[in-house]
Amino acid sequence: MTLEYEIDDSVIKQIPFSVSHLRKFFASGKTRSIDWRVHQLQQLKKMLQENESRFFDALSLDLHKSEQEAWTSEVGFLVSDIKHTLKHIRHWSQPRMVPTPLFAQPGKSYSLPEPLGTVLIIGAWNYPIQLMLAPFIAAIAAGNCAIIKPSELAVNSATLLAELIPQYLDTDCYQVITGAVSETTALLQQRFEHIFYTGGETVAKIIMKAAAEHLTPVTLELGGKSPCIVDKDTNLKVTASRIVWSKWMNAGQTCIAPDYILVEEGFVDSLVSALRLKIEEFYGANAMESQDYGRIINLRHFDRLTQYLEGQNVVYGGYIDRNKKYFSPTIIVSQDDQSLVMQEEIFGPILVILPIKNKLDAVRFVNERAKPLALYLYTNDKEFETNVLQSTSSGNVGVNDGMMFMANANLPFGGVGHSGMGSYHGKTGFDTFSHLKTIMKRSFLFDVALRYPPFNRLKLNILRKLL
């Protein structure tokens, strides 16, 4: 079932009042209570757990996600995130003490996390529950009021969030706005204390321009072409399993999926054979019949992906069914790094393999392009591993695995350069939605007059030794 949002003028007209309403309740101090925040997080966890099957159904309708994939990458991921946040929120909220220099003694210095205010979170369609609620969890924990705007492309998931969140959370402090471009445009005309956006570069530029009008800070979680370097000195069987899992989960519609592989010429055939075996082991000879293989979100993205195959050397897959939005797992081997498929983020089930003369060329190739959101390296060569880690820049790195860094709430997640700015997850997400207010408290005792006029050479000489 495919649904579409129609422009609702009443929703657009209500947006300024919704923002004003949230500001009023933030000013009341309601969200500053840690106990209150804990209750809201517990309610969010309860919402996910009590409506698990409904989330599974929505994700299946939007993206043909299997129940296990929906659990591990969306619902279960979020439940785990909430548990981690609940475990640490009181510690994160405590004053953070730092040393006080001798010349300011007696005294103490610390920073105190305080909520930013009313924030806007704009989600993405490829993981429509996770990428909407993960930053929302951080915003709640930090004590903010928030408007969340789910992606209109994953309409079943967005509709479910709009229905359930008011049933479980405080509507004086949290609101869901559904809709498409018009609603998002209206939201961006309002002033927020922070805007958090997950999506593509084009929209990110629009958001930054709108935020600049109000001097609003932004967190941008984007994407780009995430490279995968495969050294012939690797465990090929495990490498193939992990690449196939991370590439074709959600039919490749993942911002941190490997976009292309750099591999030495003599190892290409072995790698392709290993990948083919794993694809068919995971999804069968015909992935269309697999309950575990996803579908493309809509026909616009389906047609975009189809264009990437034109004139390419497809060595595996390439089967499509536009009516069913089915695009098979596909492997291309190409010598042309200037082709269309290598100029844009693929964001789909096409994997490009680029042969290189030697593995050191991989570092050069990556560094000649925009900094990616993720970089993957498969090798047993420690020296080469060190070389890649020290010589390349990316938002995140996976060594001998794909995407697993997402499962560690202690690791910040975010991009660099064209792949984004800012980060979140765990304490980092709490800090993203907080202002760390610096405080120095001093005693009235021992008020040494060295800093006060009138000045003289003796005072200056003493200060030179103290500072």
Helices (H), 213-267: 236-248
Distances from the Cα of 326 to the Cαs of 95, 322, 329, in angstroms? 52, 6, 10
Nearest Cα residue to 140 out of 164, 170, 184: 170
Nearest Cα residue to 44 out of 180, 148, 116: 148
Catalytic residue among 183, 193, 221, 385: 221
**Is there a contact between 80 and 409 (Cβ–Cβ < 8 Å)?**
yes
Question: Which tokens in the block code for residue 134?
Answer: 């993960």
Distances from the Cα of 4 to the Cαs of 151, 152, 199, 296, 324, in angstroms? 11, 8, 19, 16, 17
Is 345 designated active site?
no
Read off the DSSP letter of residue 108.
Answer: E
- Cβ neighbours around 454 below 10 Å, total: 6
Q: Coil, strand or helix: which one is 272?
A: helix
Q: Coil, strand or helix: which one is 54?
A: helix
Catalytic residue among 193, 228, 255, 385: 255
**Is there a contact between 220 and 422 (Cβ–Cβ < 8 Å)?**
yes
Q: What is the total residue count of the chain?
A: 467
Is 145 designated active site?
no
Greatest pairwise CA separation for the chain in angstroms: 88
Buried-exposed string 141-157: b where 16+ CB fall within 10 A, e elsewhere: bbbbbbbbbbbbbbbbb
Q: Report d(CA 309, CA 299) in Å as an integer.
A: 16
Nearest Cα residue to 120 out of 174, 40, 179: 174
Question: How many C-alpha atoms does 335 have within 13 Å on its Cβ side?
Answer: 2
State the catalytic residues: 221, 255
